Amino acid sequence: MLFLIRKNFAWLVIVTATLIVMLSAYIYNVISSKLIFKESTTHLNEIYTQVGNSLSNLLSENWNTMDMWIPYLEDTDDDKKIRTYIENIRRIGAFTDFYFLDKDGSYCTVDGNTGRMDLGRNMRILMEEGKNVVSDTALIDRSELIVFAVPCHENKYGDFSYSAIAISFNNDDIISLLSSNTFNNMATNYIVYPNGRVVVNNKGEHGDELSNFWRMLTDSSDNLSQDNIQPYIAEICYNESGVNRLTLDGKEYYLAYHSIGFKDWILIGIVPCSVVNENINRLQTITMSASVSVIALICTLSVLYLIRKNYLNLRKKDSEIKYREELFSVLSNNVDDIFLMLNTEDFSVGYVSPNIERILGISQSEAMSDESIIENSAVTDKNENIRENLIRMSVGERKEWERKYVCRNSGNTCLFHITAFRNKIDGEDRYILAMSDRTKERKTNLALHSAVNEAKKANNAKSSFISGISHDIRTPLSAIIGFASLAANEEGNSEATKEYINKIITSGNQLLGLISDILDISVIESGRLTFNITNVDLSRMFYEIRTVISSIAAEKQHNLTISMHNVTHEIVRCDKHRFEQLIMNFLSNAIKFTHNGGNISLTLTETDDGKKGVPEYEIRVRDNGIGMSEEFTKKIFEPYEREMTDKNIGGTGLGMPISKRIVDAAGGSITVNTKKGAGTEFIIKLQIEAVKGTENRYSGNKCLSALIINNNRSHSSQIAEALEKLGITYCSYDKQDDGFTADRHFDIIISDADRVNKIAEYIGKSDSDITYIVTTENQSDLSLSKYPDAVKGVCLIPLLTFDLKRILSEHCKGFTDNFTDNNPVHCDELDNSSRTLSGKYILLAEDVDVNVQIVKAMLAKYNVNIEVAANGRKALEMFCRNPDYYYDIILMDLRMPLMDGFQCAKEIRNIRSEYAKTVPIIAMTASAFSEDVNKAQQCGMTGFLTKPVNSDELSRTLTQAVPEENV
Enumerate the domain spans of the chain. Answer: 26-170, 174-276, 331-440, 443-521, 529-690, 705-811, 828-961
d(CA 768, CA 737): 24
Confidence of residue 719 (pLDDT cuts 50, 70, 90): very high
Average pLDDT over residues 458-471: 64
* pLDDT (0 to 100) of residue 798: 92
More confident residue, 263 or 304: 304
CB 759 within 8 A of CB 790: yes
Confidence of residue 29 (pLDDT cuts 50, 70, 90): low
Average pLDDT over residues 305-328: 73
Select from 3.90.870.10, 3.40.50.1370, 3.40.50.150, 3.30.565.10 the CATH code of 529-690: 3.30.565.10
Asked whether residue 849 carries a pLDDT value surpassing 70, the answer given is: yes
Asked whether residue 448 carries a pLDDT value surpassing 80, the answer given is: yes
Confidence of residue 553 (pLDDT cuts 50, 70, 90): confident
Same fold: 26-170 with 174-276 = yes
Select from 1.10.260.40, 3.20.20.70, 3.40.50.970, 3.30.450.20 the CATH code of 174-276: 3.30.450.20
- Which range, of 231-235, 384-388, 542-546, 648-652, averages the lowest pLDDT? 648-652
Torsions phi, psi of 555, nearest 5?
-60, -30
The pLDDT > 90 percentage for the chain reads 15
> Which residues are CB-neighbours of 775 under 8 A, at least 6 positions away?
710, 715, 719, 750, 751, 752, 753, 794, 795, 796, 797, 799
Closest CA to 593 of 676, 479, 486: 676
* pLDDT (0 to 100) of residue 742: 65
Asked whether residue 904 carries a pLDDT value surpassing 90, the answer given is: yes
Confidence of residue 824 (pLDDT cuts 50, 70, 90): very low
Asked whether residue 920 carries a pLDDT value surpassing 90, the answer given is: yes
- Which range, of 9-18, 211-220, 843-852, averages the lowest pLDDT? 9-18
Average pLDDT over residues 333-361: 79
Residue type, 820: T
* pLDDT (0 to 100) of residue 471: 64
d(CA 515, CA 522): 11
Asked whether residue 524 carries a pLDDT value surpassing 50, the answer given is: yes
More confident residue, 605 or 516: 605
* Fold of the 331-440 domain: Beta-Lactamase (3.30.450)
* pLDDT (0 to 100) of residue 741: 66
The rounded Cα 412 to chain-centroid distance in angstroms is 62
Confidence of residue 439 (pLDDT cuts 50, 70, 90): confident
Which helix (H) or strand (E) segment holds residue 343: the answer is strand 337-343
Average pLDDT over residues 639-667: 73
Asked whether residue 283 carries a pLDDT value surpassing 50, the answer given is: yes
* Fold of the 26-170 domain: Beta-Lactamase (3.30.450)
* pLDDT (0 to 100) of residue 905: 93
Asked whether residue 640 carries a pLDDT value surpassing 50, the answer given is: yes
Helix pair 901-909, 930-938: axis angle to 10 deg: 20
Which DSSP state fits 898? S
* pLDDT (0 to 100) of residue 621: 94
More confident residue, 768 or 849: 849
* pLDDT (0 to 100) of residue 171: 65
Confidence of residue 327 (pLDDT cuts 50, 70, 90): low
Asked whether residue 891 carries a pLDDT value surpassing 90, the answer given is: yes
Average pLDDT over residues 454-464: 68
* pLDDT (0 to 100) of residue 835: 61
- Which range, of 103-117, 217-231, 579-593, 887-901, averages the lowest pLDDT? 217-231
* pLDDT (0 to 100) of residue 207: 45
Asked whether residue 51 carries a pLDDT value surpassing 50, the answer given is: yes
Helix (H, G, I), strand (E, B) or coil at 257: strand
d(CA 84, CA 75): 15
CATH 3.40.140.10 fits 828-961, yes or no: no
More confident residue, 564 or 432: 564
Asked whether residue 617 carries a pLDDT value surpassing 90, the answer given is: yes
Average pLDDT over residues 815-827: 60
More confident residue, 673 or 395: 673
Architecture of domain 705-811: 3-Layer(aba) Sandwich (3.40)
Taking residue 87's Cβ as centre, other Cβ atoms within 10 Å add up to: 12
CA distances from 487 to 503, 513, 683, 846, 943 (A): 12, 22, 41, 22, 27
Select from 3.40.50.300, 1.20.120.1200, 3.40.50.620, 1.10.287.130 the CATH code of 443-521: 1.10.287.130
> Which residues are CB-neighbours of 547 under 8 A, at least 6 positions away?
none
* pLDDT (0 to 100) of residue 866: 92
More confident residue, 9 or 733: 733
Mean pLDDT across the chain: 79
Asked whether residue 529 carries a pLDDT value surpassing 80, the answer given is: no
Highest mean pLDDT among 279-288, 373-382, 666-675: 666-675
Average pLDDT over residues 802-825: 77
Asked whether residue 470 carries a pLDDT value surpassing 90, the answer given is: no
Taking residue 730's Cβ as centre, other Cβ atoms within 10 Å add up to: 19
* pLDDT (0 to 100) of residue 381: 64
* pLDDT (0 to 100) of residue 760: 86
Tell me the pLDDT tens digit for each residue of 59-103: 677 777 787 888 888 888 888 888 888 888 887 766 788 888 898
Tell me the pLDDT tens digit for each residue of 943-958: 888 877 777 788 888 8
